[in-house]
Structure 1
Amino acid sequence: MSHQVIKTKSAPEPVGPYNQAIAAKGTLVFLAGQIPLDPHTGQIVGENEITAQTQQVMKNIEAILRASGANWSNVVKTTVFLTDLGNFGEMNQVYAQYFPESTAPARACVEVSRLPKDVLVEIECIAVVE
């Protein structure tokens, strides 16, 4: 399978053996899960604050989408990982700012027991670049 690694300094460096995103066959771009790290400092943004953390995650995703030649309208699938589904409403308010309801991608949202660096939210997505 032909694929290209997508990497930008406008989003945090991976904290493990993965890439920010992979463009497969030049049309599909698979973004690794993004957590609320500031790409310049490597520090967590919004300690224990779901709104600030979700905003940073979305900024990181946007930077990677741009680096791959995509934008929010190219996203076809997201997966949201929350350490507490009680934070769903606040996360969803931030998330909704990026996706109009009429064209929003398919989404799954699950509660997990723990995320890297003990953050509250992680989001991954798939985009189609034409």
Structure 2
Amino acid sequence: MFIQRFGTTVRMSQAVAFGQTIYLAGQVSQADGVAAQTREILANIDALLARSGSDSSRLLSATLWLADIADYDAVNEIWDAWVPTGTAPVRACVESRLAGDAFRVEIGVIAAVKEE
């Protein structure tokens, strides 16, 4: 099977498509505050999914890492409005130390390619 990579650098790719599945790297934002970061991350995910032949209705799995679990409700409010009704993926959300102090949330997803 053919592997297609998007946004590839020496260290990583932003997205990798293999077969009918698309794997996105964890997305972060340096916007001010967890709500702004979450919105920007989800917009980045939308763009990466579109570029690789999918969209948020095709999510299979999501992992959310929060620098502070106290942000859980704020992130979920934005997440719940973003995921199309009836298409929620399997999901994990954990508190974790992120790669930089400015990061409040990181989100990684796996999605299916759109059916043609």
Give the TM-score taking structure 2 as reference length. Answer: 0.89
Residue equivalent to 1:74:
58
Specify the code of the residue in structure 1 equivalent to 2:99. Answer: P
Residue equivalent to 1:116:
99
Structure 1 counterpart of 2:31, from 31, 45, 53: 45
1:100, distance to aligned residue in structure 2 (A): 3.5
Residue equivalent to 1:3:
3
Residue equivalent to 2:18:
24
Cα distance in 2, alignment partners of residues 34 and 103 from structure 1: 20
Cα distance in 2, alignment partners of residues 74 and 100 from structure 1: 9
Find runs of 4+ consecutive structure 1 residues off by over 2 angstroms: none
Count of aligned pairs between the two proteins: 113
Q: Deviations over 1:34-57 (max 9, x none)?
A: 001xxxxxxx212xx111110111
Specify the code of the residue in structure 1 equivalent to 2:89. Answer: P
Local SS of the residue matching 1:52: helix
Residue equivalent to 1:40:
none
Contact 2:49–2:55 (Cα < 8 Å) also in 1: yes
Cα distance in 1, alignment partners of residues 100 and 43 from structure 2: 18
RMSD: 1.7
1:117, distance to aligned residue in structure 2 (A): 2.6
Specify the code of the residue in structure 2 equivalent to 1:4. Answer: Q
Cα distance in 2, alignment partners of residues 92 and 100 from structure 1: 14
In structure 2, list runs of 5 or more residues that go unmatched: none
Residue equivalent to 1:85:
69
Percent of residue pairs identical = 36
Cα distance in 2, alignment partners of residues 109 and 100 from structure 1: 19
Contact 2:56–2:84 (Cα < 8 Å) also in 1: no
Local SS of the residue matching 2:77: helix
Specify the code of the residue in structure 2 equivalent to 1:45. Answer: A
Cα distance in 1, alignment partners of residues 84 and 47 from structure 2: 19
In structure 1, list runs of 5 or more residues that go unmatched: 8-12, 37-43
Local SS of the residue matching 1:58: helix
